[in-house]
Structure 1
Amino acid sequence: MRDLASSFGAAAAAYAEHRPNCAPAAVRWALEHAPGPRVLDLGAGTGKLTGALGDDVIAVEPDPAMLAELRRELPHVRALAGSAEAIPLPDASVDAVLAGNALHWFDMAIAGPEIARVLASGGVLAGLWNVMGDRVDWVAGLARVRGSAAIGPRDTFSTWRAATHLPGTPEQAEFPHGQRRTADSLVATLATRAGMLVMPESEREATLNRIRGFLASRPETATGEFTLPMLTGVLRIVAARQ
């Protein structure tokens, strides 16, 4: 798990270029009950979510390469080295903690109390995840071809419902989303998945070539641009007021 979580730095520029943003409606839903505007983007990566969180946002990221890319992309944002298990902020200093495609990497036995510490009374914790809309036939076919290493965290909600260490009732929602891609850029996107990044080179290339062949065989993806159907899932907890 640690190897997977630490794999992204080697592909920081590609991650910033190819990974999708979250659906705007999902971000609004995540924040709608926050008691104020102060937002922490925890495990912020290259800032894919950070830029959508308003003017009073702080980003915290443990990987130096990802943090450097975030600072390059969003020079106006306060971006700090740190982790979910050691958040470099004072007690009760933020109104919401959001994690975009990151909450499943946290050691919640340590991170849960840390998040509770930095949240103001009545604050919000929300994890957001982009997953492919595999109810569409060609996307379901792609999921079979690409294998588990390139699949997003479908089991995240059930895994983290009981792991947040916050007094509050978890709520879950999904929001339709999409990303304009070509076959080449979709392959580049899938190549930034943690499971792909830690594969032996020969296995990785074989998997990517299999994906290329599938995309070339489908009329929806063989030529030009297409919309990759997606969902942004949100798990939200509003902490009890103290």
Structure 2
Amino acid sequence: MDSDLRHRHAASFGAAANAYAAHRPDYAHEAIRWALEPAPGPRVLDLGAGTGKLTATLAAMGTDVTAVEPDQAMLAELRRSLPEVAALSGSAESIPLPDASVDAVLAGNAMHWFDMAVAGPEIARVLAPGGVLAGLWNTVDDSVDWVAGLARVSGPAAIGPRDTPASWRTETATLHLPTTDAPVRFRSPEQAGFQHGQRRTADSLVATLGTRAGMLVMPDEEREATLARIRRYLATRPETSAGEFTLPMVTCVLRVRRL
């Protein structure tokens, strides 16, 4: 994805901030614990925090969390729902924190939006020695038959190349800090996946998929046709056609540690 298209997709979420907050899932606690395992202390930056899905869990787990988010509508929703958390306007490319001020930088479904040529050195700047950078992505578990069918029916705008575990491993393998001539170095990246799930109905799952960036930037007619196709599929499946069900997911984590 070129930089202009990436920016257009990344900037699309603000218009759907309320829907994002209502429908996007949280992250598996085991995944967050694994991400933070090597961190030298409790100070955590949630970078590209959105409406605070990851921030809320980090706060509940007792970390000293600070959220940074560039989109003002998303930031307003985060501040409304988590008034006790320090939430700052900023971006991965311009982090409003001092040098070596955090022990971990986490990004929930956000690292692929970062311009890592700029964000990499900036993240290294705010990380303390031995600190951790980890990206977390909620993927749908397409080893389950009906979920694999959903992925096929939905198309890449709703369930894209990072949204299933196997494709996530390939797509994120190089989404770590770039090698530079700067003195800061990182260890080799590690990947892991953790089972997760979200209680949904057919309507709420359609609403969830409607908050994906590819869907938000679609022309209205095309988006409605795609969502209608997904609704028809869910109505045909016994797993999803009658009331609530659990959407099988895997929270995938990419982790690197600063030397």
Say yes or no: does 1:143 pair with 2:151.
Answer: yes
What are the superposed Cα offsets for residues 128-157 of structure 1, whole Å, 9 maximum, x if unpaired?
000000010000000000000011423442
User: Where does residue 3 of structure 2 map in the other structure?
Assistant: none
RMSD: 1.2
- Which residue of structure 1 aligns with residue 80 of structure 2? 72
| Mapped partners of 1:34, 1:55: distance in 2 | 11
State which of 49, 53, 62 in structure 1 corresponds to 2:54: 49
Instruction: Please say if residues 30 and 236 of structure 1, whose CA atoms lie closer than 8 Å, have aligned partners that are also in contact.
Output: yes
Give the TM-score, by structure 2 length: 0.90
**Whole-Å Cα distance in 2 between the matches of residues 209 and 100 of structure 1?**
28
Residue 209 (structure 2) aligns with: 190
2:29 is the counterpart of 1:24: yes
Question: Residue 162 of structure 1: CA displacement?
Answer: 6.0
Tell me, what secondary structure is at the counterpart of 2:46? strand
| Partner secondary structure for residue 88 of structure 1 | coil
In structure 2, C-alpha distance between the alignment counterparts of 1:146 and 1:168, rounded to whole Å: 37
1:57-91: CA deviation from partner (whole Å, max 9, x where unpaired) = 10000000000000011000000000000000000
**2:104 pairs with 1:89:** no
Shift of 1:159: 3.5
The alpha-carbon deviation at position 223 of structure 1 amounts to: 1.0
5+ residue gaps, structure 1, are: none
* Residue of structure 2 equivalent to 1:134: 142
1:169 Cα deviation from its structure 2 partner: 1.6
CA distance, structure 2, for counterparts of residue 126 and residue 231 of structure 1 = 16
Whether the 8 Å CA contact 1:180–1:227 is kept in 2: the answer is yes
Q: Does 1:227 align with 2:246?
A: yes
In structure 1, the residue corresponding to 2:207 is in which secondary structure? helix
Q: Which residue of 1 aligns with 2:226?
A: 207
Determine if contact 2:192/2:252 at 8 Å carries over to the other structure: yes
Per the alignment, residue 169 of structure 1 pairs with 188
Structure 2 residue corresponding to 1:116, chosen from 124, 127, 130: 124
Aligned residue type for 1:160? L
Specify the SS of the correspondent of 1:158.
coil
Give the whole-Å Cα distance in 2 for the aligned partners of 1:162 and 1:134. 29
Which deviates more, 158-167 or 70-79? 158-167
1:160 to 175, 179, 188: 175
Q: Aligned residues: percent identity?
A: 73
TM-score using structure 1 length: 0.97
